[in-house]
Amino acid sequence: QVQLVESGGGLVQAGDSLRLSCAASGRPLSTYIMGWFRQAPGKEREFVAAISRTGGDTYYGDSVKGRFTISRDNAKNTVYLQMNSLKPEDTAVYYCAAGNSYYSLSYYYRAAAFGSWGQGTQVTVSA
C-alpha cells in the first residue's frame, strides 16, 4: 500500500496560482496512475486530473482544462498540480490518489478506480 501526503494549499485571491504537491512513500510512484480530485462543501468528490505512469499522457476534468497542469517526478516519488487562474469555484479540499494501472487513462475520472488516497489539502479562493 502506498501512502500519500498532500501539501501546498492555502488562501489566495481569484486569478492567483498555487502548486500542490503529493509525496508518496511505501511503494514506487511509477507503479501507479496518479490523480487529483477535489471536494467542496455539500458536493461530491470531483475529478480534476490524472496522469499516466511515466507522465507521457494526461487527462483533465472539463472545469479545469486549460488552467491546471498535472505532472510527476517518479525519481522524487512526487506528483504535482499546478493551478493557474484560480476561481472562487475552485475552493475545495484537494486530494491526490494512486490507482493500479488496469485500464486506459480515461477511465480514471472515477474515484473508485483509485485505491489509495491522501488526507487532502485545503484550497480557498476569495473573490
Rounded percentage of the chain residues whose pLDDT exceeds 90 = 99
**Quick count: other Cβ atoms within 10 Å of Cβ 14?**
13
Q: Cell for 46?
A: 470531483
Tens of each residue's pLDDT in the chain, 127 residues: 899 999 999 999 999 999 999 999 999 999 999 999 999 999 999 999 999 999 999 999 999 999 999 999 999 999 999 999 999 999 999 999 999 999 999 999 999 999 999 999 999 999 9
Q: What is the pLDDT of residues 49-83, one digit of tens each?
A: 999 999 999 999 999 999 999 999 999 999 999 99
The backbone torsions φ and ψ at residue 103, rounded to the nearest 5 degrees and listed phi first, read: -130, 175
Q: Rounded to 5 degrees, what angle do the CA atoms 119, 26, 56 make?
A: 80
Query: Distance between CA atoms of 8 and 34, rounded to whole angstroms?
Result: 17
Q: How far apart are CA 88 and CA 68, in angstroms?
A: 15
Alpha carbon distance 127, 122 (integer Å): 16
Counting every residue written for the chain, the total comes to 127
